């Protein structure tokens, strides 16, 4: 009887594998779409990304493929300055492409240089994603977002709150005009 089941086991496993394939393909498609969205966001002018509109989503990638070890990337630019119009509702979406390493994004008025434990310095942040981690996941990109928020004219910073990351250069500037 056992050898009889072994004969049919592939017939039971193959349909399950085929059923999982659309989900895997859909996840790959979402990852590719998110990375493309990040590469097309805003209008680039040198190391600045200019955004317009009443509601703006800034898609950032933590440690994008080929980017420096501790960095954010938006529109293919590492740690760009984000320029926003005053009064606009904005949110950041962070995709963590650094498998096995948590990252996050917090918006703060605190300027660099940052201490090794920046999380203590930016409490509470204006907005934040919390840690985006896929250490126990089989996916290649986890995405989390801040809620919608509005910034007054001024200079702010988006930083990774994971200890040592902002200290090591994982931050960028936000200018609101």
pLDDT in the model for residue 23: 44
pLDDT on residue 12: 46
- How crowded is the C-beta side of 36, counted as CA atoms within 13 Å? 6
Q: Residue 67: helix, strand or coil by DSSP?
A: coil
Q: What integer pLDDT is reported at residue 101 of this predicted model?
A: 86
Q: Is residue 97 part of a domain?
A: yes
Cβ atoms 109, 60 nearer than 8 A: no
Structural domain including 130 reads 35-176
**167 lies in some domain:** yes
> How far is residue 53 from each of residues 44, 49, 125, 152, measured CA to CA in Å?
16, 13, 24, 15
> Residue 3 falls within a domain, yes or no?
no
Q: Which residues of the chain have pLDDT under 50?
A: 1, 5, 8-14, 16-18, 20-21, 23-31, 38
> So what's the pLDDT on residue 7?
52
pLDDT for residue 60: 92
pLDDT for the residue 147? 94
- Per the DSSP assignment, residues forming a β-bridge with 61 are 73, 95
CATH of the domain at 56: 2.60.40.420
Number of folded domains in the chain?
Answer: 1
What pLDDT is attached to residue 76? 83
Task: Confirm whether 22 is domain-assigned.
Answer: no
pLDDT at position 82 is 96
Please report whether residue 1 resides in a domain: no
| pLDDT (0 to 100) of residue 9 | 43
For residue 106, tell me if it sits in a domain: yes
Q: What is the pLDDT of residue 136?
A: 56
Give me the pLDDT at residue 41, please.
63
Return the bridge partners of 57, or none: 91
Residue 86 lies in a domain: yes
Asked if the bond preceding 124 is cis, omega within 30° of 0, the reply is: yes
pLDDT tens-digit series, residues 60-112: 999 877 777 789 998 888 999 999 999 999 999 999 888 778 999 999 999 99
Strand-by-strand arrangement of the 81-84 sheet: 43-45, 48-50, 81-84, 171-176, 154-159, 103-108, 127-132
């Amino acid at each position: 009887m056992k050898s009889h089941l072994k004969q049919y086991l592939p017939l039971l496993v193959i349909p399950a594998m085929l059923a999982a394939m659309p989900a895997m393909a859909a996840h790959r498609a979402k990852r590719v779409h998110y990375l493309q969205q990040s590469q097309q966001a805003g209008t680039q002018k040198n190391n600045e990304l200019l955004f317009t509109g009443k509601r703006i989503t800034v898609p950032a990638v933590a440690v994008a493929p080929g980017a420096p070890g501790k960095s954010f990337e938006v529109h293919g630019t590492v740690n760009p300055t984000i320029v926003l119009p005053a009064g606009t509702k904005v949110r950041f979406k962070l995709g963590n492409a650094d498998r096995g390493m948590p990252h996050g994004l917090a918006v703060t008025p605190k300027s660099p240089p940052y201490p090794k434990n920046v999380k203590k310095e930016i409490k509470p942040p204006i907005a934040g994603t919390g840690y985006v981690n896929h250490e126990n996941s089989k996916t290649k990109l986890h995405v989390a977002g801040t809620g919608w928020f509005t910034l007054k004219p001024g200079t702010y910073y988006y930083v990774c709150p994971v200890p040592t990351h902002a200290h090591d250069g994982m931050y960028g500037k936000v200018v609101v005009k």
